[in-house]
């Protein structure tokens, strides 16, 4: 098995781009479920990002047992809403476009003083060695009063990052990667992989 070939267990093109952007410079060949011609609807029954990430990775690894699988489960947690939408970030208002989802979050905060929020990313690695691994990254910020910026995807345009002094939607890919939840989880993943490459 080539330790430099990985399959990203996602159909989200935004996520796939981020993984490629971070892993390909390290010499990894990154493919998607579509590249591998795998169609699977994984039932995310976990109660945490970590559990759902591992469920996805295990399901895909069962289909592609000779491949290294990387799966991500991530989402937005708005503190005044009790961490909502959390693990339901992608499924919140399912079928609706993200501009409507973003506005719905803003509307729910209209009477709230606390606009703090965080993104969490849990990245699972299976098939690299004998172990199952989960790496977790978080980034903290605030929900903006309106969407700003056309960069990124999902809830990025309403997430204001104090680190960058702009929303993720206004940030360049490199700026976002440097402070994002997925960037931080991927950094841990990279360090583990580099330390254990034969």
Residue in 2, 35, 41, 73 annotated catalytic: 73
Select from 62, 5, 119 the least CA-distant residue to 54.
62
73 is catalytic: yes
Annotated catalytic sites, by residue? 73
């Amino acid at each position: 098995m080539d330790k430099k070939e990985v399959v990203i267990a996602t159909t989200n093109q935004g996520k796939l781009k981020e993984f490629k952007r971070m892993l390909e410079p390290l010499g990894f060949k990154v493919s998607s479920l579509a590249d591998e011609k795998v169609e699977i609807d994984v039932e995310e029954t976990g109660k945490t990002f970590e559990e759902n990430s591992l469920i996805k990775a295990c399901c895909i690894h069962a289909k592609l047992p000779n491949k290294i699988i990387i799966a991500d489960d991530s989402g937005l947690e708005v503190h005044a809403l009790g961490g909502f939408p959390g693990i339901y970030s992608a499924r919140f208002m399912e079928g609706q476009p993200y501009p409507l989802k973003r506005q719905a979050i803003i509307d729910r905060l209209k009477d709230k003083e606390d606009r703090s929020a965080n993104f969490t990313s849990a990245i699972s690695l299976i098939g690299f060695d004998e172990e199952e691994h989960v790496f977790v990254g978080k980034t903290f910020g605030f929900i903006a009063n309106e969407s700003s910026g056309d960069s990124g995807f999902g809830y990025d345009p309403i997430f204001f990052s104090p680190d960058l002094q702009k929303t993720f939607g206004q940030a360049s890919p490199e700026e976002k990667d440097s402070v994002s939840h997925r960037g931080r989880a991927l950094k841990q993943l990279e360090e583990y992989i580099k330390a254990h490459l034969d």
